Amino acid sequence: MEYKHFSHEHNLRLHQVQPGQQLRCSGCESYCYESVYACWQCNFFLHEHCGNANRYVKHPCHALHPLILIPRPTYTGGSFFCDACGAPGTSFSYCCALCEVDLHVPCAFLPPTATHASHPHELSLSHNLPTQKISPDACKLCNQLLDPKHWTYDCLICDFRVHTFCATREVKPGLYQDDDEPTTTQLPQSGPKENDFEVSGERPEGEATEDPIVQLYKLQVEMEMANQLAQMMASFNLSSLV
């Protein structure tokens, strides 16, 4: 059976990764194990959880706007820096174009809590280091400094704080997809499918050719461009009065 994914022009087939095969996911850029969606013509592969990632999420790290899944960065440099872990990325990301928020797909679905063998208490995901900290913290596991701009796992009982990637490699793709709380932007449904994949076939007559999620992302970009233009015009008008 073939599947169509919004990020790729060709249909994909489910493939079981064989021992010794080194296939890198085109979504999260990490190696693939177990089963993947594959286009052998383009060497394009997706983990099942990357291929079925929600087209948008209402993430607690950015409550103002939904984060939209885009297949490649829109920045001129062709890459982004993840606001969760700080590492660069060149493939899939959850993005708010208005606020320049970018998350790797695995980082977007980090579990809210985690446990680690080196610590007796449960760790909670924190999107910011405490503002009252004067001296920088070091990760209790790798001893490298923690960047206050990036996420950590913290113990709420004692002073134990670690990098997200030191605490866990677990990813929970189902997070945030069943959130029924209203948002300022209501996304229209794009057809009778449960995720990004749909069984390939003919597009029904009269169906829109552009995904509503893409339309929303373009609207965000247009709003940001209009805001920047308004600021430039205001600056020009003020300078002409001097």
Domains defined for the chain, CATH in brackets: 2-51 (no CATH), 120-170 (3.30.60)
- The pLDDT of residue 132 is 55
Q: What's phi and psi for 2, nearest 5 deg?
A: -105, 150
Residue 43: per-residue pLDDT: 94
Q: Which two tokens stand for residue 183?
A: 């948002």
Instruction: Give the pLDDT confidence of 13-37 residue by residue, as tens digits.
Output: 999 999 888 999 999 998 988 889 9
Question: Among 175, 157, 170, 173, which residue's Cα sits nearest to residue 116?
Answer: 170
Q: Quick one: which of 87, 85, 61, 102 has its CA closest to 167? A: 85
Nearest to 139 by CA among 121, 163, 104: 163
133 pLDDT above the threshold of 70: no
- Structure confidence at residue 120 (pLDDT): 92
What is the pTM assigned to this prediction?
0.72
Contact 50, 22 (CB under 8 A): no
